Amino acid sequence: MSANLSSVRHTRGYDIVKPLSITALLIFMLPLVLLPLSSIFIFGFSSGLQSFWAALTTPDAIFALKLSFVTSFWATVFNLVFGLFAAYVLARYSFWGRNAIIVLISIPTAIPTAVAGFALLLLWGPYGLLGRFLPADTQIMFTPYAIILANIFVTFPLAFGVIMPVLETMNRSLEEASATMGATRWQTFWHVTLPSLRGAIVGGALLTFARSVGEFGSTILVSGNLSGMTQTAPLYIFAKFNEGQVEAANAVAVVLAVFSFVIFSILFFARDWLETE
């Protein structure tokens, strides 16, 4: 994949632009990304590993992390299945209104997440369009299910966006071969199409998951923000920061930063590995 990168040569001999441009890249990143990130770590550990650990292992912090991961997991499962289905339908069939559906799926990307939360409240809240018909003891808003709904909404286009282009540009000769050999539609999908989407599926899942774990704007509106009940990790960080407990906020922030580093490392390496398999 990267074999052709250096084949274009504008100069002969040593290319000074290469080290210069890499340095420039890093210098740009330093104040914009690297320093803010490192300040989380510096402040997170400023009063020692022990108090970092103590801040991280309070029941509320553990719960917040757990809630974030679990709600993000279910949002990912849903959006992956949906994204795969939508991409398959839209890549394989051409029909009137197809582009409109693609645009509709992509809308949540550009909507402020607070609006997403508010929209859910207006729909499912106790006084919402549909929520008013729910019995009082089966409300969805202000429960962990509301967080899952919010996560689904804001990460809706992500998995689809990763899978769709791969499916569209996929070489269809294998699928055709499979069909000629008498395979059913389902068999072809399961044994031919799906395996070649492995990279895109893993990529879409990780993106969706990572984005869900960090979701704040919509969750603060729909979750109720009760510590130990409906407070996710980003809400916990915000609450602790507002209470002036910067250390507690940082401990959880460090976990999320490390987590996102891990996710995107997997994304980077595993995708290459899965696609070349």
Q: Which residues bind another protein (CB under 8 A)?
A: 59-60, 63, 66-67, 69-71, 73-74, 121, 125-127, 131, 136, 139, 141-144, 224-229, 231, 239, 241-244, 246, 277
48/244 with CB nearer another protein = 244
User: What tokens does 39 get?
Assistant: 């300040």
173/242 with CB nearer another protein = 242
In the complex, what is the shortest distance from the CB of residue 91 to another protein, in angstroms, rounded to a whole number? 23
CA separation for the pair 97, 120 (Å, rounded): 26
51/106 with CB nearer another protein = 51
In the complex, what is the shortest distance from the CB of residue 148 to another protein, in angstroms, rounded to a whole number? 9
CA separation for the pair 5, 20 (Å, rounded): 17
Which of 69-73's residues contact partners 24+ apart within 8 Å by CB, and which partners?
A: 69/213, 70/144, 71/144, 71/147, 71/148, 71/151, 71/212, 71/232, 72/151, 72/208, 72/209, 72/212, 72/213, 72/215, 73/209
In the complex, what is the shortest distance from the CB of residue 37 to another protein, in angstroms, rounded to a whole number? 18
Alpha carbon distances (Å) from 136 to 127, 139, 146, 158, 185: 11, 6, 15, 34, 45
In the complex, what is the shortest distance from the CB of residue 208 to another protein, in angstroms, rounded to a whole number? 15
147/166 with CB nearer another protein = 147
208/231 with CB nearer another protein = 231
In the complex, what is the shortest distance from the CB of residue 138 to another protein, in angstroms, rounded to a whole number? 12
23/39 with CB nearer another protein = 39
CA separation for the pair 12, 5 (Å, rounded): 16
131/214 with CB nearer another protein = 131
Residue closest to 72 by CA, chosen among 124, 163, 158, 149: 149
Q: Indicate the residue type of 68.
A: S
In the complex, what is the shortest distance from the CB of residue 145 to another protein, in angstroms, rounded to a whole number? 8
142 backbone φψ class: left, alpha, beta (φ>0; ψ -120 to 50)? left
In the complex, what is the shortest distance from the CB of residue 15 to another protein, in angstroms, rounded to a whole number? 39
User: What tokens does 250 get?
Assistant: 């940082």
